Amino acid sequence: MKPRLVIGHESFGEVLEAPAGSGFAPGDLVIGIVRRPDPVPRPACAAGEWDMCRTSMSTAPDDAVSEENTGSPRLALLLSAAMFVLVVDTSLMNVSISAVIKDLHTTASGVQSAIALEALVSAAFILINSKMGDLMGRKRAYVIGLLAYAVGALAMTVAQSLTAIIIFWAIIGGLGASLLLPAMQSLIHGNFKGAAQKRAYALTGASAAIAAAVGPLLGGFLTTYLSWRVGFGLEVVVILVVLSQIRVVKDVPYTGPRHIDFVGAVLSVVGMGGVVLGILVWQEGGEYVGLIIGIGAVTLVALAFWLVRRKRRGKPTLLDPDLFKHLNFRIGISQQTLQQITLGGAMIVLPLFLQMTLEYNAMQAGLSLAPLSLSMFGMAILAGRKAGNRRPAHIVMAGFALSTVGMAAIIPLVPRVDSGWYLVIPLVITGSGLGLLVSQLNNFTLAPIAEERVSEAAGVNSAAGSFGLSFGLAIAGGIMLWALALSFTHLTETSTAIPPAQQQQISAELEHDAEVMSNTQLQQQISGEPPAVQTEVLAINTHARNRSLQIALLVPAIASLLGLGNSFRMLRLPDITPAADIEGVDFG
């Protein structure tokens, strides 16, 4: 603000009403600035009279627009490479579960807990870290996020225990992702203009889609023929290359309010964290599960009341509760969450089935999962281009219908097939359904949001998706281990081949430490038992493991079914033309 008034240039006034996020509050004294056309090379602006600048304090001539302002193709490639690393990371873990278990002498439930925790940390902190990135600078947040993610990946190359994976990959890497994604979105918006901006968003989104499609194949190949650690080492190399070119990134200044809703941030983290952590504690046989989940649920309700109350008082909020006044936005968020629960449940159960029941190596598991990822990628592109005048609600309904049918078709196959080839058609059906959802849900959710609120709404959408993914991973894994323990105990107690003393020992062990194991792994542990007992225990393991996998697959099937039911609500809503250009805005 200038220290003086120049007649004809400014007007002095008091703010009566101020929308959230404007940086003003009722009662503030303000000066309105009039910007006038300035001649090239803007001499008044160059002389320090910044109110005479046409659109900014830049003193460059209009026709001397820099490469950074129009959009650098090299920068777009670097941002896309960073996005590729973020998306391919989880695929590496999913197809490498058996290899990680063997190398680190850990358990399947421990590895799946780490995968769920990484998604949870990203979801719980993405809203507050988006604000932190605004305050510290988007470029700095981008660099810190990349460094944190590199630390997590580097730790995976040398980790000798599950604890190291949880601390460095799941927690530090998850925090890095929560800083990186919103900063990347802001940097694309600020470093590219016009058509170049659309190309940058499209390239980054395509990079994420390709990573999701080829991730299982890439991870399977590296794990089988080299090591599961090599993939994470390559991630570090890519990140170092991106950081080496950080000079081409122009920082994007933040001009909004600089206040932080710390209470809202804490409630958000505790709420989402409590629900998912409670489930993870349950699957590990811990105590106070109900209390932890209850605290999480109550905290989420408290967050809603806090946001509304703070909004009414005109104070900054973690997120604007008025976003949820749009019915399209509310339904879109719920559908996004259900889609990610479906994906998360499938991501944890299917790799375990392939690697524990069929005893596939990582390459075989990756090839078996390829129909799911490739069909999802292909259908998302096809539906995005060929949707035409079809209503998004109809496409979303078809997507959930296909994913429901696909997941339901896999359930009866689990105890009956001895090859991944039998899963090809159900996986293609499921992947096609998820691809239809990917092509429509983002636009449907953000369509009613005004341009100045799209970035915030996209952050909420991303947080909901990440929370759904972590919830799907955790609840499917927890139900699987619960069903395994229950079934194994029942079959053991009714067996005539296992002595009563061993029956009690097995029951006591499973009560606190149920684990999904292949028959080969179990054979090594019971090699000292009589042949009749070994045969019986292996038969019980096969039956109990398959039943638990079938029950766990109900999680993604039910989530898809709920999404299908919710689609009928979408049909009753009018189609809304997006209030802003939202192409690629929610690529994370």
Task: Judge whether residue 58 has pLDDT over 90.
Answer: no
Average pLDDT over residues 391-404: 93
420 CB-side CA count, 13 A: 25
Cα separation, 429 vs 406, whole angstroms: 5
Structure-token pair, residue 37:
């056309």
Q: How confident is the model at residue 149 (pLDDT cuts 50, 70, 90)?
A: very high
pLDDT band at 74 (very low <50, low <70, confident <90, very high): confident
- Give 255's pLDDT tier (boundaries 50, 70, 90): low
Nearest to 546 by CA among 348, 370, 346, 349: 349
pLDDT value at residue 11? 63
pTM: 0.80
Q: What is the mean pLDDT of residues 296-316?
A: 91
What pLDDT is attached to residue 5? 52
Strand 29-33 to strand 10-14: parallel, antiparallel, or no bridges (unpaired)? antiparallel
pLDDT at 126: 86
Tell me how far apart the 2 most distant CA atoms of the chain are, in Å.
100
47 has pLDDT over 80: no
Per-residue b or e along 9-45, where b marks 16 or more CB atoms closer than 10 Å to that residue's CB: bbeeeeeeebebeeeeeeeeeeeeeeeeebeeebeeb
Least confident of 42-46, 82-86, 315-319: 42-46
Average pLDDT, the chain: 82
| Dist. CA 46–CA 178, nearest whole Å | 39
DSSP annotation string for 475-521: HHHHHHHHHHHHHHHHHHHT-SSS-HHHHHHHHHHHHH------HHH
Contact criterion met (CB below 8 Å) for 335 and 524: no
The 10s digit of each residue's pLDDT in 77-136 is 888 898 889 888 888 888 888 889 889 988 888 888 898 899 889 888 988 888 888 888
pLDDT given for residue 53 in this prediction: 55
Write phi, then psi, for 284 (nearest 5 degrees).
-95, 5
pLDDT tens figures, 495-514: 888 888 777 777 666 655 56
- pLDDT above 90 (res 368): yes
- Which of 436, 442, 433 is closest to 402 using CA atoms? 433
- pLDDT confidence of 148, banded at 50, 70, 90? very high
Indicate if the pLDDT at residue 564 is higher than 90.
Answer: yes
Q: Of 51 and 149, which is predicted with more confidence?
A: 149
Q: What is the mean pLDDT of residues 259-282?
A: 88
How many CB atoms lie under 10 A from the CB of residue 493?
Answer: 13
CA–CA separation, 264 vs 512, rounded Å?
36
∠ CA 179-326-570 to the nearest 5 degrees? Answer: 105
> 32 has which bridge partners?
11
Reported as a single tens digit per residue, the pLDDT across 190-200 is 788 777 777 77
pLDDT at 528 over 80: no
Check: CB of residue 59 under 8 Å from CB of residue 49: no
CB-count burial class (<10 Å; 0-12, 13-18, 19+) for 114 = buried
Helix (H) or strand (E) segment spanning residue 32: strand 29-33
Assign 3-state DSSP to the chain and report helix, strand, coil percentages, each to 5.
75, 0, 25
Q: Which two tokens stand for residue 528?
A: 């000292």
Q: Tell me which H or E stretch contains 14.
A: strand 10-14
Cβ–Cβ < 8 Å for 319, 284 = no
Q: Residues 478-487: what's their mean pLDDT?
A: 87
Q: Which residue has the higher pLDDT, 422 or 36?
A: 422
Higher pLDDT, 447 or 410: 410
**Cα→Cα distances 255→134, 236, 488, 491, Å:** 9, 33, 60, 65
Taken in order 356, 479, 477, 433, is the CA torsion positive or negative?
positive
Mean pLDDT of 182-191: 81
Residues 168, 153: Cα–Cα separation, whole Å? 8
- Could you give the 3-state DSSP secondary structure of residue 416? coil
Mean pLDDT over residues 421-442, rounded?
Answer: 91
Place of tokens 């580097």: 154
- Alpha-helix residue ranges (DSSP H) falling in 258-326: 262-283, 289-312
